Amino acid sequence: MKARVTVMLKNGVLDPQGEAIRHALGALGFAGVDGVRQGKVIELDLAATDRTAAEADVKAMCEKLLANTVIEGYRVEIL
């Protein structure tokens, strides 16, 4: 079973990498990009066979390691 975790900064948290990307896109001629939020995607190969248990385990991984829950939110997808 596979899981995909998407981690993004929470709304209201300054995203300097996103701002740098937005600026670079403008410099390359891509007008009309008003905002960019940069995040990360983590894909996990799991030995679990129970979908509900796998999702619970991945959420625990996010809370303990994969996301800084003070400033980041995350979304878990079981594939």
CA 43 – CA 28 distance, rounded (Å): 31
> In this structure, what CATH number is given to the domain that contains residue 51?
3.30.1280.10
**How many domains does the chain fold into?**
1
Domain range enclosing 34: 2-78
The pLDDT tens digits for 27-62 are: 999 999 999 999 999 999 999 999 999 999 999 999
How many C-beta neighbours within 10 Å does residue 42 have?
Answer: 17
% pLDDT > 90, the chain: 100
pTM of this prediction? 0.87
Q: What's the burial of 35, exposed, middle or buried (CB within 10 Å: 0-12/13-18/19+)?
A: exposed
Instruction: Find the angle CA(71)-CA(75)-CA(79) to the nearest 5 degrees.
Output: 155
Say what the pLDDT of residue 64 is. Answer: 98
From 53, 47, 42, select the one nearest 1 (Cα to Cα). Answer: 47
Say what the pLDDT of residue 4 is. Answer: 98
